[in-house]
Amino acid sequence: MENPANNNLTRRSFLTRGAAAAGAVGLPYFIPARALGRDGAVAPSNRIVMAGIGIGGRGSGDLSVMLGQQDVQFVAVCDVRKERREAAKAAVDGKNGNTGCAVYSDMRQLLAERTDVEGVLIATGDRWHALASVLAMRAGKDVYCEKPACLTVAQGLRVVETARRYGRVYQTGAQRLSESPHVCAIEMARMGRLGQIHTVYADCRWRGGLRRDWLPAQPEPAKADLDWDLWLGPSPMRPYNAGYVNGNGWYDHEDLATDVAQWGAHTVAQALAGLDMTNVTSIDFEFAGPDATMVTRLSNGVKLVLYRIAGSVWEPCQYWSGSCGERFDGTEGWAGAADGYSKPDVSSPVLMKDYKRILAEYAVRTRRPFNHIRDFLDCIRSRRDTVANPEVMFRSMCICLAADIVEKLGRNLKFDLAKAEFVGDAEANRLKNRAMRAPYTF
């Protein structure tokens, strides 16, 4: 029943209050322009909703680039280390202008709960790359995963199969495939400007073997600060030691990393991009001794040199200066690039006469930006393959990981690229996989 005492509202007061309420709803300053997609911002309905997994070191750099894209909105971050997930949350909240970024220590919880997330950045330690990618794609997420994308041939194949089965966009972080000096060198090789390509060089400064011992046990940090079991993930259990987690000390341990593939994951994809790999079915590896440059021969007759130089990874060599270089030698000249280049090095200045046109024609033909992360984001929208798609990743990683096995066994081997297996060598084929510790398995 109505209370008569509260039923004395006059028509004038009703209209006055109604007008005030309507005005309050329409006041523009209650809704930020950015939230409406004004002032150059992207409306929420058009943003790509992202989450980050493993956001420290390289991951923090990737996160910074992604946060700089106007059509990206990060809503969650995950890291097994407390200080890293808190730092990532602060960066995301600072960009979003709120405190709404969710924080997780276990990626499996994030993937299960965040049905709003469309894509994930994965920049964990290498041991997690393949498994995290597979779990994310199974959960319906598109994936940008740092390199090396896998520790074994079998892991890489699982990534390819999962992307194909679930129709996911995947980009491995071989970012030089999107940088103009490398793109130009690759284009000159592919388009015949260097004549018939006979030799390709890739910077593979491996360390000649990894440690198989364990560091001495130390007291584990509190689980809230560092979840050691999650940090190890699919790798074999070993006692905690700060030397693994501080300064990326895990790089030197065989259970946690790779040897040739650690650096080759940067460059072999660049070398292969300049070649017609359509009919390449196999590759022969020639063992030259520990720490030596390895010569390989593709079935199409091209020689791929996995170039080894002792000393610092920044030390110049005879084929390029700087790191992460590739070079293409053809019957009519050569071209190559490395970090720090503004244009490729070439055998003749004449080859650089059409530099801008080469890049312009590449952009028109491929519709790709000269920005690796932007290419991934564009492909989320278009659903087409990225420049470093699963097949590109797998082919280059197969070569790197096969070279690791050649180094370990100390003998020549032939690898069938189509079957992803060694020809006539059971021992080598057993090394294509490694056990994954439960419950961190595919």
State the Cα–Cα distance between residues 182 and 270, nearest whole angstrom: 7
Q: Indicate the CATH number for domain 176-209+258-369+391-430.
A: 3.30.360.10
Check pLDDT > 70 for residue 116. yes
Give 313's pLDDT tier (boundaries 50, 70, 90). Answer: low
- Cite the beta strand spans of 347-432 per DSSP E: 413-416, 421-422
Q: Give the pLDDT of residue 23.
A: 41
Q: In the block, which residue shows the tokens 């069938």?
A: 416
pLDDT value of residue 318 = 85
Average pLDDT (421-440) is 97
* Alpha carbons 276 and 139: distance in angstroms, whole number: 34
Q: Give me the long-range contacts of 279-283 (CB less than 8 A, separation at least 24).
A: 280/417, 281/416, 281/417, 281/418, 282/414, 282/415, 282/416, 282/417, 282/418, 282/423, 283/399, 283/402, 283/414, 283/415, 283/417
Residue 269 has pLDDT above 70, yes or no: yes
- Within 8 A by CB and 6+ apart from 309, the residues are 205, 315, 317
pLDDT at 39: 58
Residue 172 has pLDDT above 70, yes or no: yes
pLDDT interval class at 207 (50, 70, 90): low
Single-letter residue type at 1: M
pLDDT of residue 165: 98
pLDDT-based confidence at residue 208 (cuts at 50, 70, 90): low
- The pTM of this model reads 0.89
